[in-house]
Amino acid sequence: MRTQVGIIGAGPAGLLLSHLLHLRGISSVVLERRSREYVEKRVRAGVLEQGTVDTLVAAGVGERLRREGLPHHGIELRYGGAGHRIAFERLVPGRAITVYGQQEVVKDLIAARLAAGGDLRFEVEDVAVHDVATDRPYLTFGGGERLDCDVIAGCDGFHGVSRPSVPEGVLTAHERDYPFAWLGVLARVKPSAEELIYAHSERGFALHSMRSPEISRFYLQVPPDTGLADWPDERVWAELAARLETVPGFTLATGEILEKGVTPMRSFVVEPMQYGRLYLAGDAAHIVPPTGAKGLNLAVADVRVLTEALARFYADGSTDLLDGYSAACLRRVWRAQHFSWWMTTLLHTFDSDDAYGRRLQLSHLDYVTSSAAAATTLAENYVGLPFEDGPAPV
């Protein structure tokens, strides 16, 4: 078999790349280790930046997003017994975020690729990367099948095969682990607030979010070694109430818990994001703590850059954009890394004995919620900085 771009991974990065390339007349094959059912039901991020929404709409996969997504024009920072709204409509006019689950984005992209005759292969075992240092890279999979291509895109996540395929010593990894994790809860209950609530307290951080008008999403800061058995439903609701019911008039609605999971908190960046004809995108190249809601959005940003670079390459043979892929992506990646680290350190409880650190946090929260300049910095990073390349690349 032969295609122009071999793509490993059918998450948002791989699927969107395949679709954007299709719109440019560039062929691709997507290889995914998991089943279609698994990737369409895997609950992940649900906050889409303005630029991500614009990209999906321009690519023709935003109809359901526009119909079912929940636009938000602000978030609340809750601490010290009061709530403080960061008003996007005032601080960054014309820009917002949309709550729409990552699994819904994946469903939309799979449907679009299949409708266009795209080659998506699920439950593919033993994918291996070969000869990316040459101009004839190829992939093997399934116990003997071979896919020849011009370029390979590694969109297979942090634990995928793409990044480990690069020879040792070529890539430099930057990492930071945080001394806590997030317990994520999906519940069949109407959201108790119209916008996301980021709550800071001495008991730890909590986040009130949502996935639809009937489904809510919650997160609790927990120790990194937490097991799900430690958190029966009654304890989850009691702790969420203790951390969220801290302002007058707010009552947390409860309901059936559909899903629980523990997510470790880490920051990770690998440089460069390319080697030969192999280009890493999304979680294969970088991980952010979810506090800043940047993971999926960074994957979309990577794919936009790679799409433009490949379109130039196939149009006139130029490799200048491909050569500069990593540098172009990393400018945004490091900005998002800093913002995610900043939000994490601002809102979470660290050493319980560190009274000095707690007072610094409260002082910083007071500054963010009372200074237009500080609030604008939060708002413009949260809704997503404009893309350097302008409108969506379709």
How much is the average pLDDT of 20-43?
Answer: 95
114-126 pLDDT, tens digit per residue, is 999 999 999 999 9
- Reference 279, options 309, 300, 316; nearest CA is 309
How much is the average pLDDT of 117-136?
Answer: 97
- Predicted pLDDT at 44: 76
CATH tag for 5-73+95-174+266-351 (out of 3.30.70.360, 3.40.50.720, 3.50.50.60, 3.30.70.1050): 3.50.50.60
Q: Which of 19, 22, 72, 200 is catalytic?
A: 72
59 close to 16: Cβ distance less than 8 angstroms:
yes
User: Lowest-confidence range among 55-59, 97-101, 347-351?
Assistant: 347-351
- Predicted pLDDT at 388: 78
Residue 202 clears pLDDT 70, i.e. is over it: yes
How much is the average pLDDT of 92-113?
Answer: 96
298 close to 289: Cβ distance less than 8 angstroms:
no
Question: Band of the pLDDT at 392, cuts 50, 70, 90?
Answer: low
Q: Which residues make beta-bridge pairs with 79? A: 82
284 close to 290: Cβ distance less than 8 angstroms:
no
In eight-state DSSP terms, residue 167 is P
239-284 pLDDT, tens digit per residue, is 999 999 999 999 999 999 999 999 999 999 999 999 999 999 999 9
Tokens of 68: 């079912």
Question: Band of the pLDDT at 391, cuts 50, 70, 90?
Answer: low
Tokens of 154: 């590694």
Residue 14 clears pLDDT 80, i.e. is over it: yes
The enclosing H or E element of 321 equals helix 320-323
Q: Which of 12, 137, 191, 290 is catalytic?
A: 290
- Predicted pLDDT at 375: 98
Q: CA-to-CA distance for 274 and 330, rounded, in angstroms?
A: 11
Per the annotation, the verdict on 294 as an active-site residue is: yes
89 close to 74: Cβ distance less than 8 angstroms:
yes
Q: Which of 79, 100, 138, 198 is catalytic?
A: 198
Q: Which of 294, 325, 348, 393 is catalytic?
A: 294
Domain spans, the chain? 5-73+95-174+266-351
Question: Band of the pLDDT at 41, cuts 50, 70, 90?
Answer: confident
47-86 pLDDT, tens digit per residue, is 999 999 999 999 999 999 999 999 999 999 999 999 999 9
Q: Which residues make beta-bridge pairs with 302? A: none
Per the annotation, the verdict on 290 as an active-site residue is: yes
Distances (CA, A) of 139 to 30, 56, 161: 11, 28, 11
User: Lowest-confidence range among 23-27, 38-42, 132-136?
Assistant: 38-42
Residue 389 clears pLDDT 80, i.e. is over it: no
Percent of the chain with pLDDT over 90: 94
Q: CA-to-CA distance for 278 and 301, rounded, in angstroms?
A: 17
Per the annotation, the verdict on 190 as an active-site residue is: no
282-295 pLDDT, tens digit per residue, is 999 999 999 999 99
Per the annotation, the verdict on 382 as an active-site residue is: yes
- Predicted pLDDT at 94: 95
User: Lowest-confidence range among 90-94, 192-196, 209-213, 241-245?
Assistant: 209-213
